[in-house]
Homo-oligomer: A and B are copies of this chain.
Amino acid sequence: MKQPDSIIKLINKFSSLPGVGLKTAQRFAYSVIDMTEAEVNDFCEAMQAVKTNVHLCTECGNFTERDVCDICLKRDKSVICVVAYPKDVLALDKGGSYKGVYHVLHGTLSPLDGRGADDLNIKSLIKRLEGVKEVIMATNPDVEGEATAAYLARLIKPFGIKVTRLAQGISIGSDIEYADEITLERALDGRTEI
């Protein structure tokens, strides 16, 4: 049995969203049929509004609807936390204890994928280093993230600015029994006095 063309087309669209397989896409498409026409139009307007209104903050590269984002406008600019993607800003800022600003690279160095320093939002980071006391590297603790952090550290240290890295160790609520060796080694290396 072949489904109507417009349903198949919508299923394909939903499949392009991250982490959505055929079955889930199908469920989404069928739920769109159950929406009212007004709801569908609202949904579309919301999608298009995001494309029209949201662009990158000219200072940090995070998503904003203005020229400069709220964080860059209001917070302590002497500490910059460097992340790979806008979603990382969300995660780091949820705790609420960090009072500095962010800088979004929009990727990590990855020679294998042909992504070099020029493809990342690095130039604007160098430009805003005046008066900065500390740059925190908050890229993922994987090969690319570590390489990017090391590269930027070499670039920034000559300015006489302290460059730090997020602590690596066991996660809160996790089980030491099941932690991997490298994590445990890092946790031992970075142990603190109590």
Contact = CB atoms under 8 A, between A and B. Distances in A.
26 contacts: A1-B70, A1-B93, A2-B70, A3-B63, A4-B65, A6-B49, A6-B50, A6-B53, A7-B50, A9-B46, A9-B49, A12-B46, A13-B47, A17-B27, A17-B31, A18-B27, A18-B28, A26-B87, A29-B50, A30-B86, A33-B63, A35-B51, A40-B48, A40-B51, A43-B47, A44-B48
Given A18-B31, A87-B30, A7 B47 contact: no
A42 interface: yes
Contacts of A32: 47, 50-51
A155 interface: no
Contacts of A35: 51
Interface string A77-98: 0000000001101100100000
Given A6-B54, A33-B63, A40-B51, 6 more contacts: A4-B53, A7-B63, A10-B50, A13-B47, A26-B90, A43-B47
Main secondary structure of the interface of A (DSSP, over half): helix
Interface of A: 1-7, 9-10, 12-13, 17-19, 24, 26-33, 35, 37, 40-44, 46-54, 63-65, 70-71, 86-87, 89-90, 93
A42 B63 contact: no
Contacts of A29: 50
A18 B29 CA distance: 10
Contacts of A63: 3-4, 7, 30, 33
A35 B53 CA distance: 14
A76 to B, nearest CB: 14
